[in-house]
Chains A and B, each alone.
Chain A
Amino acid sequence: KNQVEQSPQSLIILEGKNCTLQCNYTVSPFSNLRWYKQDTGRGPVSLTIMTFSENTKSNGRYTATLDADTKQSSLHITASQLSDSASYICVVSRNSNDYKLSFGAGTTVTVRA
């Protein structure tokens, strides 16, 4: 079954600190993996997208990694800010036509001053 599992479910960090979120997937075939940020009550916003051949991609203070062999990805947030408080969702696409995405349950990050 096509699954996307994220950990931890939630975490709290102090402003200025770093954190890393994990994503494991069993989706097959694999086309690409994205990380989305979802603020409460809002739609997901794309942070990064990586294909099979890419193993790292950055977007500002966000850095995503991908190991397609072990089917694992991580999202690293550097020097966290209060505005980073949100749910971070790992999403895997099975084909380049992107007809259907498999969503993880998300990791809720709370940044405290």
Chain B
Amino acid sequence: EPEVTQTPSHQVTQMGQEVILRCVPISNHLYFYWYRQILGQKVEFLVSFYNNEISEKSEIFDDQFSVERPDGSNFTLKIRSTKLEDSAMYFCASRTDTQYFGPGTRLTVL
């Protein structure tokens, strides 16, 4: 069964550093999403992406965040200058009708 994959599974970085989280959506999906889940809290929507542009973004998705689909398979989330409060699980999802979530990347900012 096709699945969404994410790398790395765990990323540790120093505050102020840039990180890039990578996702490979399911191949025939056209809609892509990033979510985050701070430990012990609910999943929060960050951004949706369709046709090579952002469809919608939340108030969390500020200028420090960006997304890109650099080729036909990858979908990336970049955080330019990480803050302590960016520590969370980041989930990528893709869909035709139902969203399929990846396993997540645990980001730890020290």
Contacts and interface: CB of A to CB of B under 8 A. Distances in A.
A45 B101 CA distance: 7
B98 A34 contact: yes
28 contacts: A36-B101, A41-B89, A41-B106, A42-B104, A43-B4, A43-B91, A43-B93, A43-B102, A43-B103, A44-B101, A45-B101, A46-B99, A89-B42, A89-B43, A98-B31, A98-B95, A99-B48, A99-B55, A99-B56, A100-B45, A100-B48, A100-B56, A101-B99, A103-B43, A103-B44, A104-B42, A105-B41, A106-B42
A68 interface: no
Report, as a range, how many residues of chain A touch the other chain. Answer: 10 to 19
B100 interface: yes
Contacts of B100: 46
B59 to A, nearest CB: 12
Interface SS of chain A? loop
A27 interface: no
Interface of B: 4, 31, 41-45, 48, 55-56, 58, 89, 91, 93, 95, 97-104, 106
Interface of A: 34, 36, 41-46, 49, 89, 98-101, 103-106
A34 B97 CA distance: 12
A104 B95 CA distance: 20
A56 B104 CA distance: 30
A53 B102 CA distance: 29
Contacts of B56: 99-100
A62 to B, nearest CB: 15
Given A99-B48, A99-B55, 12 more contacts: A34-B98, A36-B101, A41-B89, A43-B91, A44-B43, A44-B91, A46-B99, A46-B100, A98-B31, A103-B43, A103-B45, A106-B42
